[in-house]
Every structure is written in structure tokens, then in C-alpha cells.
């Protein structure tokens, strides 16, 4: 970054402003909508690789695979997503592990297998339950043919519990792995996360093996980037070498998204400053929006939080999500209230960053906390296993589809600045996104309450024209001296554009 860019960032960050200068730098992938799939839970396209399938076991393989995902790409292209993130695909542990679910879930003890992809036993072989190397390449080619980018999840920190790597040593006798729990709060790099054997990535032979394996697979398949698992548990100089090698051996613009547990727009900045990655997950968004719609805290506080997310280093991006395989499903967290959940979807799709949709969330997939946050993709009446017969909400999917279209059509939502209209005592949330070069503006209003809410605010001078139109019901609201007043139904969000602009 040159001196002028650094100075501009510092001035905006320290002033507390939410100027569009930060967002307008155009970070790569900032315009994407990312869809996360656990392959085994999505769609079964090849019955010949189902030897270990146990669909009644919440921790077992359920049969989804690369061929199944490839066959359903049109479903995702129609939704409007522009990138897919899939779990690691290398060969998993040969045996399962005994596990217990929280008693309140009513799930009996079960055997937990590596259906999720994070318990790798062989980095040079594809897990047969997922398919073959050619299946991976065919999937990537099919996604690219539809204009969809592919992120492959990769693991560098650890192996599966009973990994053969536990006994491997260097020619000099150095072990490849650390064993034992350790304390991840004291030393996140040398601890054994979840008791998993920890690769000694500071050892040149170990480092080279892992880099060669993952980068080699990426080159073969043609993926567009990596999602980096357990990022905080690997040393910084490893990530700098990783960046150098991916740029040099794959493509200069190979995208890197870091899973730094607990990361936010501000805490990720040190990694952006060293240019180790392009993006990181924003772990704060999910809980903040759930808290807002559940009436915890003032609306202005949540609105201010959304503004602070704009304080991000130019050229980098944060990825914000509502649910994940490691956290409870958001719909469950808001009491299964779809109206409240829709508010969070509206805020997610109109906020700065790269929205991430966890598979099936768009059709109201059920489930709550682990292991029920990893249940099957609902396919309703369609003859697709493992989720055949599982109910899905097509109206919610249509809502997602319209919001994704809106996001793609309006640079204010991907590149624009942010102005909070909500005052200290206002019960509702209201904010404007504006992008100066295109003169594009979007107004978002949310009523989290159980009764209708009358909202009135003065719009910024950048708002074009003397009226605004609701993107859903096409209602046009006139402005008087730049001020509007309208009623928002209970537990809903409304999105407005200048009356002269089209939604899509």
C-alpha cells in the first residue's frame, strides 16, 4: 500500500467516520455472494460410493458427494450466488469417534465420522465418499461454466485423530506432529485444537509437504481460492510463504479467506496489513443481528456497529454469515421466527462485506446447535437424497433471490458508504448506503417490534429526487424537504430506492 492510501485509511479510521473511501477501493470478491456446502449433506449423485452411509446417524456419512453438488448447480445459479465454498475433500479418518450430543437435543450417543472433511488422514488422496480428483475438477469446470467461483477449504494445522502422520518423522528424527491438548489461550500455534494432532509447520519438511499437497490439488482442479481453516493456529511466516507460493504457482489473484476464530473488521487488520490473506470471517455479525431482532439492546447500538464494519483496510474484505457448521443455526437462535430471521437476511444482504449463505439456510433448513447444525439439505418433493422429503420454504428462497439480485444491481450495497439515520431513542433501525461514483443509494428500515412502527427521517442530500419506492410492494413515498414518514409492519424490513431507479 502506498503512503497516500495508508494516510487515507488512518484518517478515516481515527476519525470514526464511515466514508465510502474505504469501501470504494474495490477489494476482490467484495461483490460476491458465497454459498457454503458440506458435500456429504447436500446431494447424493453417485450411489457407488455409499459404503459407509448411515443416514440416521447425525455424525455419520449421509451420501452427498461432488457429483451430487455438480448436478444441482443450476439450483444455486438460479438462486443467484456467485461463489461456492466446499469443505476439505482429502481422505478422512478410517474410523469414527464416539460422541455425545447435548442432552437437551434428544440425540442419542453416536459415532462421529469425518463427513465434514476436517479430519484428514491423507492429504494426497480424495475421500472416496466425496468422489475422485476428476469429480472435483468436473465440479469446478461446471461451476465456472455458470460464472460461479469455487473456494476449496484447506487444512494446514492438524490431521485426523488417528492419523498415520502421528508416527512420521524427518530424516533427522524430528516428529511431524505435536500430541496433547495444550492451552490454545496461552499459545494458539503449538496447542492441539480439540485434541487433534498438531502439525509442526515450522519444520521445513512438514511445511513443504502440506503446501505441495494443497497447492497441487488447487492447480489440478482449477479452484479460485482457499478458505483457510484454523488460521490463528498456524504461525505468520507460514502464511507469508503460503501467499507467495499461491501467487507464484497458481494465479496472482488467488483468493484467500481466513477463518480466524473471533475475527472482526478491526481485529483482522494486522493480517491484512501483512497481506497474508485477502479476507477474513466477521464472527461478530451473526450474534449482533440476532441480538437486535430479539430486542436485546438499542437499535442505535446495532446501527452503530454496522457502521464500524466499514473501518476496513482498502483492498480487503470481511465475510459475514448468519449460520455455520461450527455455530447454532440462526433461525433456531431467533426462536424459529421466520419474520425476525428475514430481517437479518435483509441486513446481511445490504451490509458491507461478502455475505455467506450456509447451505439450506435459504429454504429455512431446520436444526439448531451441533450436531443438528449439520443436517441434510432440504429437497422437499424432489427425488434427491439425503434430504428427499425434508420440507423447504420456497417463499424464503424467493426472498433471498430478490435480495441477491438487488445486491448485484446496486453498487451502493457492495461499494458504498454508510449513514445511520436511527437516533438514540428510536425503536427502529434505518440506514442509507450510497456509492458516489454511480450516485446509487439504498435505504433500509427495520422494525423488530411486535406492533406497527411509524418511522420518519431526513434523507442525506445525496438522495436523488423527491420520492422513494419500496422494492417489494412498489409503494412510492414522497419526500418533503428531504424527509419521509411511513409505517413499517411488525417484525419486517423495508428497502427503498430513489423513485427514479429500478430495483434490478
Q: What is the pLDDT of residue 3?
A: 42
- What pLDDT, in 10s, does the model give residues 224-255? 999 999 999 999 999 999 999 999 999 999 99
Give me 431's grid cell: 440506514
pLDDT one-digit tens code per residue, 108-159:
999 999 999 999 999 999 999 999 999 999 999 999 999 999 999 999 999 9
Give the burial class of 187: count Cβ atoms within 10 A of its Cβ; 0-12 exposed, 13-18 middle, 19 or more buried: exposed
CATH superfamily membership of 419-498: Golgi alpha-mannosidase II (2.60.40.1180)
pLDDT at 27: 64
pLDDT tens for each residue of 401-438: 999 999 999 999 999 999 999 999 999 999 999 999 99
Whether 151 contacts 82, CB under 8 Å? no
Query: What is the spatial distance between Cα 114 and Cα 91, in angstroms, rounded to a whole number?
Result: 9
By the 8 A CB rule, do 265 and 258 touch? no
- In this prediction, residue 25 carries a pLDDT of 31
**What is the H or E stretch that residue 12 is in?**
helix 3-15
8 Å CB contact between 42 and 66: no
| pLDDT of res. 440 | 97
Report phi then psi at 198, rounded to 5: -105, 120
Sign of the CA dihedral 407, 410, 411, 417? Answer: negative
Q: Are 445 and 429 in contact (CB under 8 A)?
A: yes
Contact 210, 156 (CB under 8 A): yes
Under 8 Å between Cβ of 172 and 195 = no
The rounded distance, in Å, linking the Cα atoms of 91 and 160 is 10
Across the beta sheet with 476-478, the strand order is 417-420, 429-435, 440-447, 492-498, 467-470, 476-478
Query: How far apart, in Å, are the Cα atoms of 296 and each of 299, 308, 329, 330?
Result: 9, 19, 18, 15
φ/ψ (deg, to 5) at 486: -155, 170
**pLDDT-based confidence at 53, cuts 50/70/90?**
very high
Q: Encode pLDDT of 450-478 as tens digits.
A: 999 999 999 999 999 999 999 999 999 99
Domain spans of the chain, in order of start:
419-498
pLDDT tens figures, 166-218: 999 999 999 999 998 788 989 999 999 999 999 999 999 999 999 999 999 99
Predicted TM-score (pTM) of this structure? 0.94
Amino acid at each position: 500500500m502506498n503512503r497516500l492510501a495508508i494516510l487515507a485509511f488512518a484518517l478515516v479510521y481515527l476519525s470514526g467516520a464511515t466514508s465510502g473511501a474505504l469501501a470504494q477501493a474495490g477489494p476482490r470478491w467484495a461483490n460476491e455472494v458465497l454459498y457454503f456446502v458440506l458435500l456429504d449433506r447436500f446431494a447424493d449423485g453417485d450411489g457407488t460410493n455409499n459404503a459407509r452411509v448411515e443416514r440416521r446417524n447425525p455424525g455419520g456419512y449421509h451420501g452427498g458427494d461432488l457429483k451430487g453438488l455438480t448436478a444441482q448447480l443450476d439450483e444455486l445459479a438460479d438462486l443467484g450466488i456467485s461463489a461456492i465454498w466446499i469443505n476439505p475433500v482429502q481422505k478422512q479418518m478410517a474410523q469414527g469417534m464416539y460422541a455425545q450430543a447435548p442432552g437437551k437435543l434428544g440425540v442419542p450417543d453416536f459415532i462421529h465420522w469425518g463427513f465434514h472433511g476436517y479430519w484428514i488422514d491423507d492429504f494426497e488422496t480424495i475421500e472416496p465418499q466425496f468422489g475422485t480428483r476428476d469429480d472435483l475438477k468436473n465440479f469446478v469446470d461446471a461451476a465456472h461454466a455458470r460464472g460461479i467461483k469455487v473456494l476449496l477449504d484447506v487444512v494446514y494445522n492438524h490431521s485426523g485423530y488417528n492419523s498415520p502422520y502421528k508416527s512420521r518423522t524427518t530424516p533427522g528424527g524430528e516428529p511431524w506432529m505435536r500430541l496433547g491438548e495444550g492451552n490454545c489461550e496461552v499459545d494458539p500455534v503449538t496447542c492441539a485444537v480439540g485434541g487433534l494432532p498438531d502439525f509442526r509447520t515450522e519444520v521445513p519438511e512438514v511445511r513443504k509437504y502440506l503446501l505441495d499437497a494443497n497447492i497441487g490439488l488447487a492447480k489440478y482442479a482449477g479452484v479460485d481460492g482457499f478458505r483457510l481453516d484454523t488460521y490463528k493456529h498456524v504461525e505468520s511466516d507460514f502464511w507469508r510463504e503460503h501467499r507467495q507460493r499461491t501467487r507464484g504457482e497458481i494465479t496472482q489473484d488467488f483468493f484467500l479467506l481466513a477463518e480466524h476464530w473471533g475475527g472482526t473488521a478491526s481485529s483482522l487488520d494486522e493480517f491484512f496489513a501483512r497481506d497474508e490473506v485477502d479476507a477474513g470471517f466477521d464472527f461478530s455479525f451473526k450474534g449482533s443481528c440476532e441480538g437486535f431482532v430479539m430486542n436485546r439492546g438499542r437499535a442505535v447500538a446495532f446501527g452503530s456497529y454496522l457502521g464500524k464494519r466499514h473501518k476496513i483496510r482498502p483492498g480487503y474484505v470481511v465475510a459475514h454469515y448468519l449460520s455455520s457448521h461450527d455455530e447454532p443455526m440462526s433461525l433456531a437462535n431467533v426462536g424459529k421466527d421466520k419474520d425476525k430471521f428475514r430481517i437479518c437476511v435483509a441486513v446481511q444482504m445490504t451490509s458491507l462485506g461478502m455475505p455467506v449463505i450456509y447451505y439450506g439456510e435459504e429454504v429455512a433448513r431446520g436444526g439448531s446447535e451441533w450436531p443438528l447444525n449439520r443436517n441434510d439439505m432440504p429437497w422437499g418433493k424432489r427425488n434427491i437424497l439425503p434430504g428427499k422429503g425434508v420440507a423447504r420454504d420456497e417463499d424464503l428462497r424467493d426472498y433471498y433471490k430478490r435480495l441477491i439480485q438487488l445486491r448485484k444491481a446496486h453498487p451502493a450495497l457492495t461499494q458504498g458508504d454508510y449513514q445511520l439515520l436511527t437516533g438514540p431513542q428510536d425503536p427502529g433501525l434505518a440506514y442509507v448506503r450510497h456509492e458516489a461514483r454511480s450516485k446509487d443509494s439504498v435505504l433500509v428500515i427495520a422494525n423488530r417490534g411486535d406492533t406497527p412502527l411509524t418511522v420518519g427521517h431526513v434523507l442525506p442530500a445525496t438522495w436523488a429526487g423527491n420520492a422513494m419506492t419500496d422494492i417489494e410492494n412498489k409503494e412510492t413515498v414522497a419526500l418533503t424537504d428531504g424527509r419521509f414518514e411511513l409505517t413499517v409492519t411488525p417484525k419486517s424490513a423495508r428497502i427503498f430506492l430513489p423513485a427514479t431507479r429500478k430495483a434490478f
